[in-house]
Structure 1
Amino acid sequence: MRLHDRVFLLLGGTGGIGKALVDPLVRAGARVIVASRHPEKLGHREGVSVAHLDLAAADLDEQLVRLSEAYPNIDGVIHCAGQNRFAGLDSMAVGELDNQLNVNLRSAMLVGRHFVPRFRKNGYGALVFVGSTFGSIGFPGYTAYCASKFGLRGFTEALRRELADTPVQVVYVAPRATATDMNPAAVNELNRALGNTMDAPEFVAAQILKAMENDERRKFLGWPEKLFVVINGILPRIVDKAMLKQLPVIRRFLKPGVLS
């Protein structure tokens, strides 16, 4: 897809990967509308508008209608908002589970539901969803996050096939561990202890834009993470055994009350 002269709604654009996408999109000639609960964090930038949108809200569908009325020229959406918590399942409150499911999965489904009819009618449009390696590999301490990202991967796959005979593009990009402020110190220490490489948000943002420009339907980032995704899909017992060996290290950092 071309980026020049496009109007992209960017969800999750005030931090991490989303924030790293703003300037490259503007440099590519796109107009960017950053929607967030705290749009004021972005400040003023040429080629960038800000709007309020609460992805966890019960009335998100109504908020999307109001946003579309304010910005009728949106012809692409990049959904890279997300929430997670590194903790055992029994340490998480029901509200924390709900927030992850609402932001990571429900909001993506409502965004697709809202924009697909418009894009189909216009004869073009793009929906880009940022998932995770943990959307293909279950990892201890991320049960709710994995559930939401597995769901996101399945949703985008089904939606892409549902729209296969239309001009609407559906792109799914799955980064591996990324060095963002969303990670608490315990998670960064765990990644170092396990020898996991953490990508910079700017690198991930560049890969997302490359996937968009090359019309890639699916893109998984990182090696050997891409290999593990394939192995986990074919021979999950191999990954089970590998993670069983890592479990004592993971448990050292898996403490109640560690929020991310």
Structure 2
Amino acid sequence: MQLRDRTFLLLGGSGGIGRALIDPLVQAGARVLVASRMIPDSALEGGDVIQVQLDLAATDLPQRLAAISRDWPDIDGVIHCAGQNLFTGIEDLPTVALDSMLAVNLRSSLLLARHFVPRFRKQGRGALVFVGSTFGSIGFPGYSAYCATKFGLRGFTEALRRELADSPIQVLYIAPRATRTAMNPDAVNDLNQALGNRMDDPVQVADQILAAMRGDQVRRYLGWPEKFFVCLNGVLPRLVDRAMLKQLPVIRRFLHSGVS
């Protein structure tokens, strides 16, 4: 994928992985529209970085996307790395948190594709890049709702890529493992440390995303041994069941630590 002279709409660019993508994209010669539901951050503005307000959980998201398209008709790529999660048992899952995860992690991805696919067809090129998660392939205790949205995202991107296989539109799916972002509460960071799970820096993840884009790699899973467990879970899920059963007492200790 050529990055120079492209205009990307970057979702989730105000923090974490998204923010780490901004400078490398600009250095590669792209213009970046950083979409966030928050008030624009003046520290991000300037040069080839433009901020736009967009609430991915908004009920009128299709209309808001149409407005952005009218203002920026040269958008020819979308990078969706916005997301929400919650580490909690299913019996303690608030309905409002479930609705928000479904809206931001999954619904917005489908609506973005529905909006931009016709535009990209007409333009003769376009890229839809979705940042998923290892938890989109491996169900993990305490993340049942989050896993549901990420499993859904992975399935959606796979179907969409096959649907658009005879078009000039590229569909990429990149699945990071645990990443050090502000989205993780202390209980999650402590759990990863207790289980010996490695956590990547957002800059490392951003580098991998750009590598996948440059190499037209339609799916990329990040981290070892997480990539191995994704494959193992696909063919021998009972082995992963047994491994997680052994970890369950530790997971429950942090799940009920009072921090979510």
TM-score using structure 2 length: 0.98
Which structure 1 residue ranges, 5 or more long, are not aligned?
none
- Aligned-CA RMSD value: 1.0
Question: 1: CA distance between counterparts of 2:238 and 2:121?
Answer: 42
Q: Is the 8 A contact 2:8 2:30 kept in 1?
A: yes
Structure 2 match to 1:142:
143
Are 1:244 and 2:223 matched, yes or no?
no
Structure 2 match to 1:84:
85
Structure 2 match to 1:176:
177
1:39 Cα offset (Å):
4.7
1:122 Cα offset (Å):
1.1
Q: Is the 8 A contact 2:33 2:49 kept in 1?
A: yes
Q: Is the 8 A contact 1:14 1:39 kept in 2?
A: no
1:158 Cα offset (Å):
0.2
Structure 1 match to 2:200:
199
Q: Which amino acid aligns with 2:135?
A: F
The 3 A distance-change label for structure 1 pair 205 and 42 is: farther
Per-residue deviation, residues 67-100 of structure 1 (Å, max 9, x unmatched)? 1001110000000000000010111111110000
Question: 2: CA distance between counterparts of 1:72 and 1:37?
Answer: 21
Query: Matches of residues 42-191 of structure 1 in structure 2 within 5 Å?
Result: 43=43, 44-191=45-192
Q: Is the 8 A contact 2:40 2:53 kept in 1?
A: no
Question: 1: CA distance between counterparts of 2:50 and 2:107?
Answer: 24
Q: Secondary structure at the match of 2:128?
A: strand
Q: Which amino acid aligns with 1:158?
A: A
Q: Which amino acid aligns with 1:116?
A: V
The 3 A distance-change label for structure 1 pair 170 and 39 is: farther
Q: Is the 8 A contact 1:12 1:81 kept in 2?
A: yes
Question: 2: CA distance between counterparts of 1:38 and 1:114?
Answer: 22
Q: Secondary structure at the match of 2:127?
A: strand
Q: Matched residue pairs, number?
A: 259
Question: 1: CA distance between counterparts of 2:59 and 2:258?
Answer: 26
Q: Secondary structure at the match of 1:181?
A: coil
1:42 Cα offset (Å):
5.6
Q: Is the 8 A contact 2:85 2:146 kept in 1?
A: yes
Q: Secondary structure at the match of 1:141?
A: coil
Q: Is the 8 A contact 1:172 1:219 kept in 2?
A: yes
The 3 A distance-change label for structure 1 pair 138 and 147 is: same
Which structure 2 residue ranges, 5 or more long, are not aligned?
none
